[in-house]
Amino acid sequence: MRKKIVAGNWKCNTTLQEGVALAKEVEKLYSEKGDKNVVVVLGTPFTHITEVQKTVSNVGVAAQNCAAEAKGAFTGEVSAEMIKSTGAKYVILGHSERREYYGETSETLNKKVALTLQNGLTPIYCCGEALAIREAGTQKQYVINQLKETIFKLSEEDFKKIVIAYEPIWAIGTGKTASSAQAQEMHKDLRDSIAANYNKAIADQTSILYGGSCKASNAKELFANPDVDGGLIGGAALQAEEFLGIVNAF
């Protein structure tokens, strides 16, 4: 059976001290009363990973990005190997904010996915359409094309290690969640496209997370869908109780 995953994406929020305190609280709440069928991951800023990693044991840690090169003269970059050396197990890749503000293309993402996999890390690969595309009704082709240009080029063996996060851009940080039906429709389309590109067994074992204004109050309805396997959570991941409410929403 595929994994249920709730991953926090803290983005550019929290000081080191605040981040460690938040991680400690999530670890405590999850250990005490969290649904143990759900894998919980905290996507922290690079500066926090090592310290957060030391404070958690039941909860996993993710970076929010990695360099497109293995090492060398790339000032300011953090490599997949460096992330691996902290003990973190996941890397969020291709978030729409990185595509939009930092010019991430399918080409750079292919390099990042490859380096992440080479280092034994799990990519949480983000995809999703902007409002204009949704309004034009071409979101399905658009999002599947994002996968075709990137992770659908992976071998079966590598693709099996990928977690997908579908995040409609118009729902991110806007308080405007995709309806439960809209989420299910896209997740089903994505799963069907995985089956067409690989096979049904691989499609059935791929976790597809929903992201975009997911909160404790709407997570239950979203997660009740057969093809929604969890969430990638931004704003609501910055409060431990609220985040745990999402973890426990299955």
Report the SS3 class of residue 25: helix
Q: Does residue 250 contact residue 35 with C-beta atoms inside 8 Å?
A: yes
Is the dihedral angle over the CA atoms 127, 133, 134, 138 positive or is it negative? negative
92 vs 203, which CB is nearer to ligand PGA? 92
Q: Which residues of 159-185 are buried (b: 16+ CB within 10 A; e: fewer)?
A: beebbbbbbbbbbbeeeebbebebbbb
Q: Which amino acid is at 234?
A: G
163 has which bridge partners? 124
Active site residue 95: yes
Number of shown-chain residues binding ligand PGA (CB under 6 A) = 13
Q: Which amino acid is at 222?
A: L
Q: Which of 27, 97, 129, 167 is catalytic?
A: 167
Q: By CB under 6 A, is residue 45 in contact with ligand PGA?
A: no
Residue nearest to ligand PGA (CB): 234
Residues 194-233 that bind ligand PGA (CB under 6 A): 211-214, 232-233
Q: By CB under 6 A, is residue 122 in contact with ligand PGA?
A: no
Active site residue 157: no
Nearest to 241 by CA among 55, 33, 18: 33
Among 167, 193, 227, 249, binds ligand PGA (CB under 6 A): 167
115 vs 233, which CB is nearer to ligand PGA? 233
34 vs 168, which CB is nearer to ligand PGA? 168
Q: Which of 27, 95, 104, 129 is catalytic?
A: 95
Distance (Å, whole) CA 4 – CA 228: 9
113 vs 214, which CB is nearer to ligand PGA? 214
Q: By CB under 6 A, is residue 8 in contact with ligand PGA?
A: no
Residues that bind ligand PGA (CB under 6 A): 9, 167, 172-173, 211-214, 232-236
Q: Give catalytic residues, as residue numbers.
A: 95, 167
